[in-house]
Amino acid sequence: MATVTVDRMAVEVDGQGDAVLMIHGLGGTSNTWAPQAMALGSRYRLIRPDLPGSGRSKTPESPLSIGLFVAGMAKVCQVLGIERAHVAGHSLGTIVAQHLAVEHPNLVRSLTLYGPLMAPADAGRQGLRDRAAKARDEGMQPIADAIVQGSLSSDTRTNQPAVAAFVRESVMRQCPEGYARTCEALAGAEAADPARIRARTVLVAGDEDAVAPASVARTIADRMNGAAAVRVLNRCGHWIPLERATDSTAILSEALMARG
């Protein structure tokens, strides 16, 4: 495994074979995909960036935006010589992935989206701006504690304490200003048009996901004219790649092996 820097983004690169670009969500890092990377790294070339403002990547002086994230992912692929890639996304990363598929259709070979979102509802946009202010004023610990309580399933909190601790640590160790700007980027997000996505798509939802309910995945699939498959995992909240790591890996592996 190697870490390279692309436009001040830290990017984990591991393995050989078909490229898989893995885009984390708000409060995540490249390590959101650790279970999948450990299982699939021997068969694929896994590309796991920390988005600008997240994890080990620097926070630009200019505001963050979905457009900046999309351009960053395209730049990562260009620098690494990747002309075609499977793309996996989680939460915010699913919005980035959908825009990437629309704007760079020749780059995106398939989409596997966990906790998929189109864009925040109006009430959610204000909530994200309020959270940005909270990160700046109070730091990350109260936000991390609230996310563990509000975005993980009850089963995960009870029976997978290591996952709950991992999520808490992932959020708590974010740079408050970088996290705040990422909240603001998500608050300003506009939806890509699912009907314009041509890549094979699998939408994975958790049955206890209060952030991106399964109904959102079904709406996206409907707007793709039924061209996307929807999978709903039981006893699962929003951090699907971690909460249901084995199932998430199996679904991604199946998507990567499919032809087309």
Mean pLDDT, to the nearest integer, of 222-250?
96
DSSP secondary structure string for all residues of 137-204:
HH-SHHHHHHHHHHHS-HHHHHH-HHHHHHHHHHHHTS-HHHHHHHHHHHHT-----GGG--SEEEEE
Whole-prediction pTM value? 0.97
For the chain, give the percent of residues with pLDDT over 70.
Answer: 99
Residues 68-125 pLDDT 10s: 999 999 999 999 999 999 999 999 999 999 999 999 999 999 999 999 999 998 889 9
CA distance 231 to 233: 7
Q: What is the pLDDT of residue 259?
A: 66
> What confidence tier does 1 reach under pLDDT thresholds 50, 70, 90?
confident
Place of tokens 């994890």: 55
| Cβ-contact 52, 60 below 8 angstroms | yes
> What confidence tier does 258 reach under pLDDT thresholds 50, 70, 90?
confident
Residue environment code for 163-189, b if the CB has 16+ CB neighbours within 10 A, otherwise e: bbebbbebbbebbbebbbbbbbbbbbb
Please give the class, per CATH, of domain 2-120+190-257.
Answer: alpha beta
pLDDT over 80 at 67, yes or no = yes
Q: What is the pLDDT of residue 97?
A: 98
| Cβ-contact 112, 33 below 8 angstroms | no
| Cβ-contact 187, 214 below 8 angstroms | no
Q: What is the pLDDT of residue 123?
A: 86
Nearest to 159 by CA among 70, 210, 235, 59: 235
Q: What is the mean pLDDT of the chain?
A: 96
Sheet holding 9-14, edge to edge: 2-6, 9-14, 45-49, 19-23, 85-90, 108-114, 200-206, 228-233
Of 32-36, 159-163, 256-260, which gets the smallest average pLDDT? 256-260
Place of tokens 């309020």: 130
CB atoms within 10 A of CB 139: 14
Q: What is the pLDDT of residue 260?
A: 55
Contacts of 233 (CB under 8 A, 6+ apart): 204, 205, 206, 207, 240, 244, 247, 248
| Cβ-contact 79, 5 below 8 angstroms | no
CA distance 6 to 57: 9
